[in-house]
Chains A and B, each alone.
Chain A
Amino acid sequence: MKEEQEDKVLSELFRHKLENAEVIPSPGLGKMLIRRVAWREFLRFNPARFNAWYAGSAAVAGAALVLILTTSPGKDNDPESSTIITRPSATEALNENARGNDAAPETGESVNVRSSQKNAGAGAEKPAAMTEAHEVSGDGPEKIKGVLPSAEVPPVTDGKMLAGGTPGMNKLQKTARKADNIINASVTEGCAPLKVLFTTRSLLFDSCRWSFGDGGYSFEKDPEWIFDVEGEYEVILRGYGEAARQSFSSVMIKVHPNPVARFEIAPENAVIPGDEITFLNYSTDASEYRWDFGDGNSSDQFEPKYSYNRYGNYTVRLIAYSVFGCPDSLVVQNAFGSGYYVRFPNAFIPNPNGPSGGFYTNRSDEDSFVFHPVHSGVAEYQLRIFSRRGMLVFESSDVNTGWDGYYKGQSVEPGVYVWKVRGNYINGEPFTLMGDVTLLKGQ
């Protein structure tokens, strides 16, 4: 019994203290974890990546074979020679025949030979073979030095390279770095959001990391990225090859800002046909405008004025274009009601000095002594007002006669009254409205 209790004390001590205890992980742990996750994801069998994965491996294997075959037999004893030789030879093919070193003319040929052999060997991979070589060269000597332990690549000191008969690698790589571009972007500039499909023409690395310049990154080989925000982004591709070779390439993506299309229709309760409509343009960041008035007519003016020929449910559309041609549009459906309306207030205070008969004009009824609508285009009209008990207290078939709040010359009780109105507008459109109004007592 006692032991059980003790048991409980001990386990409860640990449970309470440690069950939800938090321990702060070491700072680098999260990053390491994410790297591991990415690597696992990459290694995972993925049917979508299946082809690229195997085609890539096959091409790399093919390329390696071709490179080994085409290097001169004298250098074969050096295990690194196959890769080292390709760097200068391929770049030199691009731009450095003129250096006139002993190896230059022959390597110029060898590139062609290589690519044709490649065609025979790995099939339709000519551009890939070329760019692979570029990519390696694009690393620059400093990269190679940095990544590989120097013992592994002893010949990569500039003097030695020159002396060893390979053309001036140092210089070559400087130029090659500029020419080097293994990134293929489906578009390099456009309007936000800009969707860009990146592909890499290189097959020489096993894994890669794209940083898109906006904080996003991807480990896919050919990622698709959407740039939401305007700006210029340097997209950087890092490839990690076998033997810890790294390659690096970048491309600039320019995302143009979007304009904002905005407009207002004036006058506010325009009646069409009849009123001339002004379209007030509040668009920003735009330089060109295209208006569609919805009746088949359009305009390119900044703030067009337009008169419709007949009544209709028009959809007005404004497309604003920025200087880069990025569009934005604003569409207003049913931009104009008929323009006719009847609207009632929900409270009024009858004139305490006695009935007025209900006739009003906007000017004469500044104090809202009369319950009446604001209206436009009313042709036929019948207003009925009931008390809460259902008694008809007022009836009018003249839109210009409202209720003065008196019934048979007597002021009625304050409270809620129900009204119903029906009629037609001058274009024949019928209307039926109902609601309630609170009759307030003046002092």
Chain B
Amino acid sequence: MMSDPQIIEGCARNDRKAQQELYSRYSGFLLGVCMRYATDKAEAEDILQDSFLKIFFNIKDFSGTGSFIGWLRKIAVNTAITHYHKHLKFRYHIEIEDFVSMETGTSSFEEDLFTSDELYRVLNSLPAGYRMVFNLYAVEGYKHKEIADMLGIDTNTSKSQYSRAKAVIRDKLEKLRRLKGNYPAAD
């Protein structure tokens, strides 16, 4: 069993074993990150692969200070953003107005109500722009200013996309809850 510093050191030497170890240890976690930024698992795995390539070839740049897992996550998020930019033009754009059906429910959601799988599906079904902003703001905890810089959009766009994303998500969760209410304890 290799320790993280050993793995890092091994990867810096391009040691195949260390790379495999790193992969087997963190691929699940990182795919979990990528899944939030993708429309489906296949795309998430593409992002994951690109992330690992970056990780392997840039592991020398990991300073050793700070959390390794945080560094990995950051790379995955950045790769997802790159991926988003790259594939932006190929995406099916949904006009924002189409989505502004928002019935602004005053709902609060208990955590136990939804499985992480369901939350992933909700995120996957979002328009890419919404998904990026929502993830970066709500889950990753970036500020709108930072998100605007990362995605190359206006701060206000980030804000409005976020609030729309929220509305859509809430809408979807609400539906999901109603659906689940009909079939309780289906966990």
> B-contacting residues of A (Cβ < 8 Å)?
2, 6-7, 9-26, 29-30, 32-34, 36-38, 40-41, 217
Contacts and interface: CB of A to CB of B under 8 A. Distances in A.
Interface residues of B, number: 40
Contact of A21 (B16, B32, B111, B137): B32
4 tightest A-B CB contacts, nearest first: A11-B138, A22-B28, A21-B32, A23-B31
A2 B106 CA distance: 9
A305 B45 CA distance: 71
A9 B116 CA distance: 15
Contacts of B16: 34, 38, 217
A298 to B, nearest CB: 43
Nearest to B118: A17
Given A15-B138, A18-B116, A23 B57 contact: no
Contacts, number: 96
In the complex, which of the residues A6, A12, A21, A26 has the most CB atoms of chain B within 10 Å of its own CB atom? A21
Contact of A22 (B19, B32, B36, B106): B32
Given A2-B106, A30-B20, A13 B114 contact: yes
B29 A20 contact: yes
Contacts of B109: 9-10, 13
A150 B139 CA distance: 54
A14 to B, nearest CB: 5
A30 B23 contact: yes
B138 to A, nearest CB: 3
Contacts of B120: 18, 21, 23
Interface of B: 14, 16, 19-20, 23-24, 27-29, 31-32, 35-36, 41, 44-45, 48-49, 52-53, 56-57, 106-109, 111, 114, 116, 119-120, 123, 134, 137-139, 141, 166, 169-170
A33 B11 CA distance: 14
Contacts of B116: 17-18, 21
Contacts of A23: 28, 31-32, 35, 41, 44, 120
A217 B57 CA distance: 20
A26 B139 contact: no
Given A25-B27, A37-B53, A10 B111 contact: no
Contacts of B27: 25, 29-30
A14 B24 CA distance: 25
B119 A13 contact: yes
Given A9-B108, A40-B53, 19 more contacts: A6-B106, A10-B169, A11-B137, A13-B111, A14-B138, A14-B139, A15-B138, A17-B116, A17-B119, A18-B36, A20-B29, A20-B32, A22-B28, A22-B32, A24-B28, A29-B48, A34-B16, A37-B52, A37-B56
A8 B123 CA distance: 17
A17 B114 contact: yes
Contacts of A33: 23, 49, 52-53
